[in-house]
Amino acid sequence: MPSLKDVKLKIQGVKKTKQITKAMNMVATSRLRGAQGAMSGFRPYAEKFSEVLGSLAEKAGGDASSPLLTPKAEVKKIHIVLCTSDRGLCGGFNINLTDKAKHFIKDQPASDVEYSFTCFGKKGRDWCRKQSYPIADTHLGIVGSRFGFHVAATAGKKLVDSFLDGTYDEVYLLYSQFFSMGRQVPTLQKLLPIPPIESTDTAEKTGAEEKNGYLAEHICEPSPAELLGDLLPRNVYVQMFRGLLETSTSEHAARMSAMDNATKACNDMIDRLTLAYNKARQAAITSDLMDIVGGAEALRG
């Protein structure tokens, strides 16, 4: 049985750990509010942007209007934008994202495909280095902090240029989609070539327009083809920015949940150690009493 001093030191150490986890939980909760507000504010813009883009793509004639919509005949070079956090202590948040990338690569039918990465966050960068994947670009200190649209626009422009000049045949975005405080799902989304955009006819059948029968008609000036050429690259920027916002919110939610579980685990450990401390103290007191009684009996005899 451990000594009283050892158990007491363990209790003090666990209490200090509890203070740290509780403070980190409060910090994550505070940052989560701001990140969730930015994400919720951008979602309607991204949805409306996709709606307008679908209308323009339908009027401009679909895939023939832009090389960003045309798939490559043979896919040999795949680029993945991996969004992870810069710090740990957020449960399985980063592991789930890297496992998603690992399974995606493993499930590809062709074995001669070359993979490269653009990493947002240290955890994704470290994983790519460990797996010996080429890293085209690294962005640190973005996810989990405040950032502007220019971050996604700068990175997205490089991806668009690389796709157009043939450096990449396909580009994917891997991020964590935020659904609720307890559910963040790793999501893989194709960025380039831009997947078939939902037309207004489909939206009328499946979207909110079916309820009221109203479908917005967009007046185009200049022509839909010219507008589409300008808006398609911006769609890549918008999707990247949304993915970064979703990942940032998911990171704070995952860390808040992980620190809350850690605080509860500290409380349980303190209870167990306190019980062990009381038992050890009672055993020490009983041993001392037995020595005193034994000595008294010896003197009396």
For the stretch 154-207, pLDDT in tens is 999 999 999 988 899 999 999 999 998 888 999 999 988 887 665 444 444 444
- Supply 274's token pair: 């306190």
Confidence of residue 301 (pLDDT cuts 50, 70, 90): low
Whether 208 has a pLDDT exceeding 80, the answer reads no
**Percentage of the chain surpassing pLDDT 70?**
85
- Predicted pLDDT at 266: 92
- Predicted pLDDT at 65: 61
CA angle 204, 209, 210 (to 5 degrees): 75
Whether 125 has a pLDDT exceeding 90, the answer reads yes
Whether 274 has a pLDDT exceeding 60, the answer reads yes
* Spatial CB neighbours of 23, under 8 Å, sequence gap ≥ 6: none
How is 205-264 classified by DSSP, letter by letter? HHSTHHHH-----PPPSS-HHHHHHHHHHHHHHHHHHHHHHHHHHHHHHHHHHHHHHHHH
Q: Across residues 31-49, what is the average pLDDT?
A: 87
**Percentage of the chain surpassing pLDDT 90?**
42
- Predicted pLDDT at 209: 44
Q: Give the pLDDT confidence of 216-259 residue by residue, as tens digits.
A: 555 666 666 677 777 888 989 999 999 999 999 999 999 999 99
- Predicted pLDDT at 52: 76
- Predicted pLDDT at 212: 45
- Supply 75's token pair: 């896919």
Q: Across residues 205-210, what is the average pLDDT?
A: 45
- Predicted pLDDT at 293: 79
- Give this prediction's pTM: 0.81
- Predicted pLDDT at 202: 43
Q: Give the pLDDT confidence of 44-93 residue by residue, as tens digits.
A: 888 888 777 776 766 665 444 678 888 888 889 999 999 999 988 888 89
Selected residue with higher pLDDT from 119 and 297: 119
Dist. CA 82–CA 127, nearest whole Å: 10
Element (H, E) at 175: strand 170-180
- Predicted pLDDT at 246: 93
Cis peptide before 222 (omega within 30 of 0): yes
- Predicted pLDDT at 240: 92
Average pLDDT, the chain: 83
Contact predicate 174/192, CB 8 Å: no
